[in-house]
Amino acid sequence: MISGLGLWPLWVRLGWNDIRQRYRRSLLGPFWLTASMAIMVVSLGVLYAQLFNTPIDDFLPFLCVGLLVWNLISSFITEAGTLFTGAESYIKQIRLPYSVYVYRSSWSKLVIFAHNFVIYFGVIAYFRIWPGATALLAIPGLILVIFNGALANLCIGIISARYRDVPQVINSAIQIVFFVTPIFWKPELLKSKTYITDFNPFFHLLEIVRAPLLGTIPTEQNYLAVLLITLINVVVAAAFFARYRARIAYWV
């Protein structure tokens, strides 16, 4: 991983190239994602605020930040299937640390997240919300989200290189996780059924970024859960990579 980190000019350029290729000849480029996200936040925010009888100035910022962070988290999971298979030409022609492809993927996702993040500034400006210094806690939270996403990316990328049906299964599963994670609804609505969020790792990853951006401090339970998730991810990713790294070039 360290050797790949030293090649940062390469994976930064590759990540930029991925974004440019995806939106080649497009007028707005990746800002099409920002525009569609903004429309989604406003339209669904107004609708669900009415459905849940919640003040819109409370619900729409909650929904906005939730969708922004969820898109970042889910992109690591859903796009992990092409981590190595999508880099087949590089892997078979040039010898590079496999971590370069992980950093490349993570960088491009962070850039897209930064593009979309302008929606958050628009929302808090419109509703005159000021999270204060608490918002700075979102920075270590975001680092933990990206770190865990990169580890999951590596594991799923290795498995998907061997079994090409895995991305389809994950894409189906992530849609279910989306609806059981508090994004369109608030955790308070669960009342006594808090186990739905307590045992949902995506909720804790989401909350350590969302809560500070809304001006509240994540709970101790959120941080402990994320630390446990990180530890498990490190162990699993290290085991997978040590076991199967020599086979990746043959599988792709």
Task: Quote the CA–CA distance of 199 and 219 in Å, as a whole number.
Answer: 14
Please, are residues 75 and 112 in contact by the beta-carbon 8 Å criterion?
yes
pTM for this prediction? 0.91
Task: Quote the CA–CA distance of 189 and 165 in Å, as a whole number.
Answer: 36
Residue 96, φ and ψ in degrees, nearest 5: -130, 150
The per-residue pLDDT for range 133-159, each reduced to its tens digit, is 999 999 999 999 999 999 999 999 999
Picking from 159, 120, 122, the residue whose alpha carbon sits closest to that of residue 244 is 159
Tokens standing for residue 203 = 């909720």
* Across 232-245, average pLDDT: 93
Mean pLDDT of the chain: 88
Task: Quote the CA–CA distance of 184 and 48 in Å, as a whole number.
Answer: 7
Residue 205: pLDDT above 70? Answer: yes
